[in-house]
Structure formats: C-alpha cells, structure tokens
Amino acid sequence: MPRLRVLWSRVAPRLPRPTAPGVFAIILSADLFLTACFQQNNLLIFLACTVAAACIWSALGATFALAGLRIRRHVPPNVFAGEPVVIEYVVGNASRGLVCPPVRMREVLAAAGRATAAGAGFLCLVPRLAGRRQATVYADGLFRRRGVFSLTALDCVVECPFGLFRAARRIEMADEVIVYPALGHAPPGWRLEPHALAASGTTQQSMTGEGEFAGLREYRPGDPAKWIHWKHSARLGGRWLVREFDWTTQQGVVLLVDLAVPTIPPAQTWRRADLAASLVATLARSLHRDGHEVTVRFADGLTPEHTILAGGRGLEGLWATLATLPPGGSPLGPGELAAAGAVAGAMLPVIVVSCGHPDSLGAIDRSPPVQHWVAHEPRTREMFGIGGVSADERELFWG
C-alpha cells in the first residue's frame, strides 16, 4: 500500500482532468449509451461513442502536447522592487508531427529568508506550435519587495483540443533573481549645494570658491544672496535668478545607514528595513547624479562600505548589498556618528538614514549630521516617493 500511494502521488498530478464542458460530455456520453442499450438504438450508440471518443482524444491530445515542450528563460538584469519586469521565453515543440495547442504558462516563485511570496503576474500564453517549431513569448509582472527570489518552475496548462480536459505539467527551471530596493526620486529642488556642505564644517577649496559660471537658474531656499543675478531678476518681475557654477572638484558625502529598530512586530521590522534600503539607494543615486562621490557606511560595522565613483561605478554593488540587508544591529552611538565622516584623512559631511530606534535618535540629536532621514516617516516617504502614503497618514500629518 505505501508503494501504491507513492506511485499515485507521482502519477496523479500528470493525469488530465475534465473541465466543466468535459464533465458534461462524459455524463452525456454515459446517458446516451445507457439509453441506447435499453432501447437497442444503434444511432444513440454511435452518438455515445462519438462523444466518448472526443473526450478521450481531448485527454490524450492535451497530455502529449505538453510532453514535447522545450523552454528557455531569459531574466533581465537590474530588477527593482515595484517596477515592471519582462521575462522572455523561447518555447519550442520537440514533437515531429504533433501540433502543440495554445499553452498557458505561469512562474512559480519562492522567496529566500522571508515567509510569503512577493511576486505578481508572470503569466503568458504560448501560441499554437507546429512540430519542430519555436516561438518567443513574454510575461510581465513585478516583485513587490527587495530580496533574493528563486524562479523554481513553470506551471504549463493546456485545454485543447476541444477544451474538454485540462492537462498540467510543472517544468523544473531554477533561476535566481536579485531584486534591488525600490528606487524613489529626489524631490524638485532637493540638492546638497556646495555652500551647504561647506557650512557643515568642510573647508575644501572647491567648497569655498565659486567655480566656473555655468548659467542661470531659479532661486532655491538657502542660496546665498551674492549669487542672485539682480539685472535678470528685475526683468522677470519678481522671479529671482541665481548664478549656477560648475565645480571642478566635487565634494564627497558619507551616507550612514542605521538599521536598528525598536521592539515592534517582525513584519513592521522588515517594512522599515525595506524603506530604509529604498531611501539609501535613492539618495545615493541622486547625489551621484549631482556629481558627488558617495561613500555608504553601515552602523553595524559588519556590512562592507561602498563608494560610488564617477560614471556610476559601485552603484550596482550597493544595490546588491541593500537587496539582502536584514534589519537589526546595535543602535547608533555618538562616537560612531562623529567618526563616520572620516574618509582618507578628511572629514566629510554625513547624511544619516535610520529606522527610528530611540537610542539612535538620541545620539543624532546630540551630534546632528548635515541631514537625517527616518525612512518610515510619512513625510520622508512622501518627499522621496517610496512606500506610498495612505489617506489617513496624509490627513494626520498634513491636515
């Protein structure tokens, strides 16, 4: 008996199953056959056999059609959470003379280290394939959060011919996908101006001088009054224009990441870590685009730091680290915050991204950095476009 159970557990998933029209056809065939036997009507026997033959042909056709499928999967690089992903499949029919009817395919996802799956979509339809032919199809979907995901298999389903039976087959195909944190956007006008960095205590020559004149732009809060171009501003009747400079040597910036969280449920812990990873990735990309050399340091002291150089070198490595970074660690201390800006013998300005641990907030209040962002706060999420803000939070914080 145990052997029969094992054998049945292996065979049962591969057996075709009748659809709703298939159940009706089976009942109709049986009813016609019984009626023909009682009435001895050859025409009814012929009709019953015809319906039964259609059911058998549908079951066998669907089963053998899936047996000849050959599939290759191509996953795009640089996958980000929350952004559409298109996966390419090259599907071939290895059978010589058997035509493969249309097949529905769906990805089977597994998330490493976190309990629930976080993928949506990845469903496509393969057109009718003649023998020894192939076709290229695409499935679009998205990953809702960062992490390492395994595309373990493809579930293929076919209901042709006649649509009376449904045959299913799971094709094992293992691929690993690293999903980077969701990227937000820096708000309009947000920028670390050179004079703001100089005010933080950095005294590099590139910060104290005014570089080569590059053009005019609208005034932003915090711009020095001496940058205002009064003649052009007067012509615009109330709109102030300031001079824009091309800085020959860009200032380095340190991003200090603190993932220590207070005692909260595990789901909220991961949610805060996801938001912090997205904010760090967004800030690093924005600072890099402004020409800054960005050094990302982690308060746990275990995760290696990353430096984003000119041309974007280092950004992909940072995204890969943030994709798998778990929450936790000891809270930030005053000494760590003071030493965070020391890079290559110089003191650089520090931007802190935290998850709201009380001890970390106390240390930051005693030794404030250039900027401090608490990733899960609604204002931060609204400003940088990460995580979304509910209507209740909007009403609570903005009125």
State whether 234 and 258 are in the same domain: no
pLDDT band at 223 (very low <50, low <70, confident <90, very high): low
State whether 233 and 275 are in the same domain: no
The reply to whether 196 falls in a domain is no
Residue 93 CA to residue 104 CA, distance in Å, equals 14
State whether 308 and 256 are in the same domain: yes
Which of 197-202's residues contact partners 24+ apart within 8 Å by CB, and which partners? 197/251, 197/253, 197/349, 197/370, 200/349, 200/370, 201/347, 201/349, 202/251, 202/346, 202/347, 202/348, 202/349
Q: Out of 222, 245, 268, pick the residue that ends a domain.
A: 245
Q: Out of 221, 245, 269, pick the residue that ends a domain.
A: 245
pLDDT band at 193 (very low <50, low <70, confident <90, very high): low
Residue 235 CA to residue 240 CA, distance in Å, equals 10
State whether 258 and 334 are in the same domain: yes
State whether 107 and 140 are in the same domain: yes
Q: Which two tokens stand for residue 65?
A: 């059609």
The reply to whether 80 falls in a domain is yes
The reply to whether 189 falls in a domain is no
> What are the residues facing 108 on neighbouring strands?
153
The reply to whether 273 falls in a domain is yes
pLDDT band at 398 (very low <50, low <70, confident <90, very high): very low
Which tens digits make up the pLDDT trace of 280-322? 999 988 888 777 888 898 887 777 888 887 566 788 889 989 9
Q: Compute the average pLDDT of residues 330-339.
A: 76
The residue with greater pLDDT, 235 or 341, is 235
Q: Which amino acid is at 116?
A: T
Q: How many other CB atoms sit within 10 Å of the CB of residue 10?
A: 9
State whether 56 and 109 are in the same domain: yes
State whether 55 and 167 are in the same domain: yes
Q: Which two tokens stand for residue 193?
A: 């101006």
- Token match 């053998």: residue? 64
State whether 232 and 257 are in the same domain: no
pLDDT of residue 205: 33
Of 78-82, 240-244, 372-376, the range with the lowest mean pLDDT is 240-244
Q: What is the CATH number of the domain that holds 143?
A: 2.60.40.10
The reply to whether 290 falls in a domain is yes
CA angle in degrees (0–180, nearest 5) for 182-190-257: 50
State whether 162 and 286 are in the same domain: no
Which tens digits make up the pLDDT trace of 120-140? 778 999 998 888 899 999 999
Q: What string of H, E and C letters represents the secondary structure of 286-345? A: HHHHCCCEEEEEECCCCCCCEEECHHHCCHHHHHHHHHCCCCCCCCCCHHHHHHCCEECC
Alpha helices in 40-158 (DSSP H): 42-67
Helices 20-39, 42-67: crossing angle, 10 deg rounding: 150
Domain hosting residue 391, numbered range: 252-398
The residue with greater pLDDT, 92 or 302, is 92
pLDDT band at 198 (very low <50, low <70, confident <90, very high): very low
The reply to whether 162 falls in a domain is yes
Q: Which two tokens stand for residue 84?
A: 């559409």
State whether 233 and 268 are in the same domain: no
The reply to whether 360 falls in a domain is yes
State whether 51 and 157 are in the same domain: yes
> Buried (b) or exposed (e) across 329-340, using 16+ Cβ within 10 A?
bebbeeebbeeb
The number of distinct structural domains making up the chain is: 3
